Structure 1
Amino acid sequence: MKLRFAPSPTGMLHVGNARQAIANALFARKHNATFQLRIDDTDVGRSQEIYVTGIQTDLEWMGISWDETFRQTECLARYERAIEALKASGRLYPCFESEQELAAKRELRIKQRKPPLYDRAMLKMTAEQRAQAEANGKVPYWRFKLTDGSKSWNDLVMGNCSVKLTAVSDPVLIRADGTVLYTLASIVDDLETDVTHIIRGEDHITNTGVQLDIAEALGAKPNRFKFAHLPLLLDEGGGKLSKRFDSLSIKSLRRDGIEAKAITTYLSTLGSSKSPDPKGFDALAQDYDLSCISKSAARFDMKQLLALNRRILSTAEYQDVKDRLPEGATEQFWLVIRSNIDLLAECAHWWNVTHDDITPPDQPEEREYLAETASLLPQEPWSEETWSIWTKAISAATGRKGKALFRPLRLALTGEEHGPELKDLLPLIGRARALTRVTRIS
């Protein structure tokens, strides 16, 4: 068994592609299969080395490793052999229409209330007509002649799927500049490298029917591959998730403080009947089951991801995060704040609260009250009991209780309405900072 993940290095890895990478990697690990990373870089104009490196970095960060890797630009001879075989069999034919001519044909068919399919006019071209076109400076692009009938398969997610090839235009496989397009290069690579299972997005279903036809034209058996098509990923509003939404790149999520375990857990269970219980990659693999994935589109909800991230951080050990905490942060600091953050990036704020200067909001109406609390501030050394001792003294002196007592103090000491328990924060803040903050003139 062999699976592959085949990103195009034309941008950063996005949660939609990451979901497919995770699915393939988990399935491969569960079944002890070979996992291949293929870089689909035939689009030379848009592919960039920085994105190749970025994709590899993101995958490794999520716990995904691969057994073999290659780039499609290293396999041009492989594609050329397939092209020659398809030409020899008459399945690949040259076309000379311009974009304007093709657009005019589409418009005419639509006006005639016909499907806007390619009319195969170039199949009727004689050798003399082709020679004349080339003599006039025209360079052909090449289409694949689809067979009649349908291509069907039992999808591991979608169940029985079928693509009626007569409802699809003959696909362009080679541009006029000689560029081999994905539809051909991908299936040739899958055949040549012995891929057995292909897990990808639902938007590839029609493409799967076409590629099966190409594979059989190249000599593959009808049941050569097993497919699983993951339903579309929608945004919180139900719209198609945009790959241009940079905040949902894995790099951005990692930079913002989302944990790898949160991403892999969330994306592997999204749209399935399984609950997103935080697990390591190996544990996720053992529990991974394509049959649990719904056929309906799934919604990517950032609030759910943040909630999962919060759960992970709230139990994370100091040793697991210390290298990513502010310089000087101690285990005591981490244990105090870890249950009150959604993202690790928020640690910097609480480090400022406990170790640097902050600017609390104005509370002119509480000036006298805060001055009185300052006069009651206990002497050091401080412990977890200091907060209780201080507030009891304040309540006895002022008669205040509940929110009227605690809110002004929390705002003055932390600048926030909510946060970690002040009994835990106060010893980290220290008497000098606490005194300065409650006596600051508003």
Structure 2
Amino acid sequence: MKLRFAPSPTGLLHVGNARQAVANALFARRHGGIFQLRIDDTDSTRSKEEHVEAIRHDLNWLGLAWQESFRQSERLDAYAAAADRLRASGRLYPCFESEEELRAKREQRIRQHRPPVYDRAMLRLTAEQRAAAEANGKRPYWRFRLTDGTVLWDDLVLGRTQVKLPAISDPVLIRADGTILYSFASVVDDLETGITHIVRGEDHITNTGVQIDIAQALQGGALGASPHRFRFGHLPLLLDEAGGKLSKRFDGLSLRALRQDGIEAAALVAYLARLGSSEDPHPLGLDELAASYDLGHISHSAARFDTRQLLALNRRTMHGLPFEAVSARLPPGATPEFWSVVRGNVDMLNEARHWWEVVAGSIVPPPLEGDGAYLTQALDLLPEAPWDQDTWHAWTSALRAQSGRRGKPLFLPLRLALTGEEQGPELRDLLPLMGRERVAGRLRMAAS
């Protein structure tokens, strides 16, 4: 078994890409298969080397190790040889229409209430007409002549699926400038590198029908592989929280942005592995996720990427992380004791910076109108050092007896004065980390 993840290096990976990478990697891991990383960089004008490096970095961050990797730009000779075979069989034919001519044809067919499918006019082109066009400086682009049947397959996610090829225009496989298009290069690669399972987005269903037809035209001979060995799985669309299509250009959901915000890779992988299924996400490792990963459990309906669910899972993930797993990403000087206190109160790791500032830095408490006398009273009753977890209880008990305050009026002004926040880690745990001098200084500032 061999699966592949084949991103184009034209931008940063986002959660939609990552969902497909996770699906392929976990499915391969569960069945002892090979996970291949293929960089689809035949579009030299849009592909960028920094995006190639970013893709690899993101996959490494997610923990998705690949066993094979190559770039399509390294295999141009293989695509040229495959194209020659299709030309020889009459399945790849030259076309000379301009974009304007094609647009006019489409508009005419629409006016006639006919499907805007390419009319295959260039199949009737004589050798003399082609020679004349080329003599006038025109360079052909090349279309693949589809068969006239219906392509059927048992989809690993969607079940019985079909694509009616007569409803599709013969696809362009090679541009006039010689650029090989995805739908062609992908088939050649999948056949020649031994891919067995192709898992990708539902938006590729039509492409799958076309690519099966191309694979059937290429089978045997030099390639020596049957397209019938392919198994396909199409993941339903990923929607945003409002139910709209998830935009690939929404930088906030790029893996780089999520990583910089403090999302843990383990939380993201666990969330994406369960997204669209009836199984609730849990903080699990790759082996545990792979052991139960089943494409048949994914709903046929579109899934919603809910950042609130991801944050909740991220919190649970961080709560179980030892200090050693996060120490390099915490503020300088942060201690195991600090991490133990705050890890259950942050959704993302970068929020720990604020709490480090609370316990070891300087913050400005908000104005506390009407509580000045109370905070002065709290300062007068502040216990002497050294402090431990019993200090908070002893201090507030004395303050309750002298001030007569109970509940929120007793505790909230202290929390606001000492942390600047209405909620957060338990103050009994924070006080020993903050120390008496810092606490006294904040009480004076808030009382003034």
TM-score by shorter chain over 0.5: yes
In 1, Cα distance between equivalents of 2:227 and 2:265: 39
Q: Which moved more, 1:116-125 or 1:341-350?
A: 116-125
In 1, Cα distance between equivalents of 2:162 and 2:419: 61
1:114 deviates by 1.0
1:315 deviates by 2.0
In 2, Cα distance between equivalents of 1:187 and 1:154: 19
- 1:249 pairs with one of 248, 254, 264: 254
In 2, Cα distance between equivalents of 1:222 and 1:68: 21
Match of 2:51 in 1: 51
Match of 1:362 in 2: 367
In 1, Cα distance between equivalents of 2:390 and 2:100: 80
Match of 1:209 in 2: 209
1:121 matched to 2:126? The reply is no
1:420 deviates by 0.3
Equivalences for residues 412-423 of structure 1 within 5 A? 412-423=417-428
Q: Is residue 191–residue 227 contact of structure 2 (8 Å, CA) maintained in 1?
A: no
In 2, Cα distance between equivalents of 1:93 and 1:240: 36
In 2, Cα distance between equivalents of 1:374 and 1:320: 38
Q: Which moved more, 1:150-159 or 1:218-227?
A: 218-227
Match of 2:229 in 1: 224
One-letter identity of the residue aligned with 1:88? A
One-letter identity of the residue aligned with 2:387? W
In 2, Cα distance between equivalents of 1:371 and 1:279: 49
Q: Secondary structure at the match of 1:237?
A: coil
In 2, Cα distance between equivalents of 1:81 and 1:224: 22
In 1, Cα distance between equivalents of 2:68 and 2:80: 23
Match of 2:33 in 1: 33
Deviations 1:151-200 (A, max 9, x none): 11001101001100000000000001000000000010000111111011
- 1:305 pairs with one of 303, 310, 319: 310
Match of 1:77 in 2: 77
In 2, Cα distance between equivalents of 1:107 and 1:224: 40
1:221 deviates by 3.3
In 2, Cα distance between equivalents of 1:224 and 1:286: 24
Match of 1:433 in 2: 438
Q: Secondary structure at the match of 2:187?
A: helix
- 2:416 pairs with one of 366, 389, 411: 411
Q: Is residue 418–residue 439 contact of structure 2 (8 Å, CA) maintained in 1?
A: yes
One-letter identity of the residue aligned with 2:137? G
Equivalences for residues 255-334 of structure 1 within 5 A? 255-334=260-339
Q: Secondary structure at the match of 2:228?
A: coil
In 2, Cα distance between equivalents of 1:87 and 1:348: 62
Q: Which moved more, 1:356-365 or 1:78-87?
A: 356-365
One-letter identity of the residue aligned with 2:98? S
In 1, Cα distance between equivalents of 2:268 and 2:187: 30
TM norm structure 2? 0.97
One-letter identity of the residue aligned with 2:269? T
Q: Is residue 183–residue 207 contact of structure 2 (8 Å, CA) maintained in 1?
A: yes
In 2, Cα distance between equivalents of 1:412 and 1:90: 81
Q: Secondary structure at the match of 1:29?
A: helix
Match of 1:375 in 2: 380
Q: Secondary structure at the match of 1:223?
A: helix
1:112 deviates by 1.0
1:104 deviates by 1.1
1:144 matched to 2:149? The reply is no
In 2, Cα distance between equivalents of 1:132 and 1:347: 71
Paired residues in the alignment total 442
In 2, Cα distance between equivalents of 1:4 and 1:15: 17
In 2, Cα distance between equivalents of 1:231 and 1:80: 34
Deviations 1:247-267 (A, max 9, x none): 111111111111111011000
In 2, Cα distance between equivalents of 1:315 and 1:74: 44
Runs (4+) off by over 4 Å? none
In 1, Cα distance between equivalents of 2:314 and 2:177: 48
In 2, Cα distance between equivalents of 1:110 and 1:359: 67
Deviations 1:196-224 (A, max 9, x none): 11011100000000000000011253522
In 2, Cα distance between equivalents of 1:435 and 1:135: 90
Q: Which moved more, 1:317-326 or 1:264-273?
A: 317-326
Deviations 1:224-266 (A, max 9, x none): 2100111111000111100101111111111111111101100
Equivalences for residues 101-120 of structure 1 within 5 A? 101-120=101-120
Match of 1:169 in 2: 169
In 2, Cα distance between equivalents of 1:271 and 1:431: 51
Match of 1:2 in 2: 2
Deviations 1:292-335 (A, max 9, x none): 11111100000000000001111221122112111111111011
One-letter identity of the residue aligned with 2:428? K
Percent identical pairs in the alignment equals 64
1:348 matched to 2:315? The reply is no
In 2, Cα distance between equivalents of 1:96 and 1:335: 69
